[in-house]
Amino acid sequence: MKFGTKTIHAGQQADPTTGAVMTPIYQTSTYKQASPGDFKGYEYSRTGNPTRNALEQNLAALENGKFGLCFGSGLAAIDSIIKLLKPGDEVISTNDLYGGTYRIFNNIFEPFGIKFHFVGMDDSEKIESLINKNTKMLWAETPTNPMLNIIDIEKLGHISKKHNLTFVVDNTFATPFLQRPLDMGADIIMHSLTKYMGGHSDVVMGAAICKDEKLAERLFAIQNSCGAVPGPQDSFLVLRGIKTLHLRMQRHCENGKVIANFLKTHPKVGDVYWPGLEDHPNHDIAKKQMDDFGGMVSFNLKGNKLEDAIKLVSTTHYFTLAESLGGVESLIGHPASMTHAAIPKEVREKTGVVDTLIRLSVGVEDIEDLVNDLKMALDSL
Ligand SMILES: *Cc1c(COP(=O)(O)O)cnc(C)c1O
């Protein structure tokens, strides 16, 4: 099955009892047993629910994995994946990590005795120098947020294999439409389904996907024992969202390209970050491992005046000022005062998060309206 067919068919059949073509929302916590232990595959909805399971199988197929597991949020998925580890274990991760991931690693799991190292993941020597007998996991995110750096997944896959580590890739920004890390040496894919996969900014959910049966058994045990599962209604919404993933992503990429090129020509704009631009520092890796370059675009303003950035993000009309990304609607964000406000100015500026850095989640609206919206706001500065 090809990708676009999988989005619509994988894991889903007409409902055996009624013939309903769309997977019903099985809004039930429990299931009738004919005699004790004699049930039809489902006994309790924390352990398994048909709507959730359809979504889990669909996700496994999209990522070229075998097993999918859904969680109440992206962070709940991360929480469950880190619970594969035990006190004393060490994790090597990128220094350009989603803020919520950094927070759960440092504030929640460090006190339980798990040690996290944050490094620039383009530096293989640095990664290898940190590996010792306690190192158990590599954790990468690519493209990164908000600087849209690209990390070479295949290269990390080799390092991970050589040292027998579990290699996790947060595939939220790219989605399996653009890259499939399990094919490049990753062991577990993590998703915030809240973003592109759900695609309509109407649900919060996460997932873990893998190929290895032992790893899947352990993750299933954690999912069932810790219980951070999503409900059937939300599972239905994400299943429905995924049916148009390939169509939406195609348009996100087309619109992202036009916006990135428009920004490059505008006199008020400084640097533009989009992995599809030939002058992007990791353009070659992006070309190698991604099928297209996505709809996330970041840029800064010439002169770097904070008040210009504040005015810009408050002036756009179709680009709504809000957290999050990946929905059909365009969003605009100001990392220095929003997602990255907790990071000291000198630290964030070193990674490129200057006062006028602006992040766009380019939606699937008509591109003329989006360009005119940004032009109007930039011209007003
Ligand atoms: C949003 C996000 C998360 C967290 O997911 P939630 O669904 O908000 O819990 C993790 N990683 C990335 C890259 C994200 O964008």
Among 192, 229, 238, 296, the mutation site with the greatest number of ligand 1 atoms within 8 A of its Cβ is 192
Report which DSSP code applies to 106.
I
Among 172, 188, 204, the mutation site with the greatest number of ligand 1 atoms within 8 A of its Cβ is 172
d(CA 13, CA 208): 22
Amino acid 340: pLDDT: 83
The rounded Å distance from CA 190 to ligand 1 centre is: 9
* CA 107 to each of CA 114, 140, 187, 229: distance values in angstroms, whole numbers, following the listed order: 11, 19, 25, 22
Can you say whether the dihedral through the CA atoms of 92, 94, 95, 97 is positive or negative?
A: negative
Can you say whether the dihedral through the CA atoms of 348, 363, 71, 177 is positive or negative?
A: negative
Integer-rounded Cα Rg, in Å, for the chain is: 21
3-class DSSP assignment, residue 375: helix
Residue type, 16: P
**CATH number for the domain whose boundaries are 3-242:** 3.40.640.10
The catalytic residue positions are 46, 98, 170, 195
CATH topology of domain 245-379: Aspartate Aminotransferase, domain 1 (3.90.1150)
- Residue 194 main-chain phi, psi, to 5 deg: -55, -30
pLDDT by residue, tens only, the chain of 381 residues: 999 999 999 999 999 899 999 999 999 999 999 999 899 999 999 999 999 999 999 999 999 999 999 999 999 999 999 999 999 999 999 988 888 999 999 999 999 999 999 998 988 999 999 999 999 999 999 999 899 999 999 999 999 999 999 999 999 999 999 999 999 999 999 999 999 999 999 999 999 999 999 999 999 999 999 999 999 999 999 999 999 999 999 999 999 999 999 999 999 999 999 999 999 999 999 999 999 999 999 999 999 999 999 999 999 999 999 999 999 999 999 999 998 887 788 878 988 999 999 999 999 999 999 999 999 999 999
| Adjacent-strand bridge partners of 224 | none
* Contact by Cβ (8 Å): 199, 241: yes
Which residues sit with their C-beta closer than 6 Å to ligand 1? 73-75, 98, 100-101, 141, 145, 170, 172-173, 192, 194-195, 204, 206
Task: Return the biggest CA–CA distance within the chain.
Answer: 74
Amino acid 95: pLDDT: 85
Amino acid 285: pLDDT: 98
Domain positions in the chain are 3-242, 245-379
| Count of Cβ atoms closer than 10 Å to residue 326 Cβ | 27
| Adjacent-strand bridge partners of 207 | 70, 191
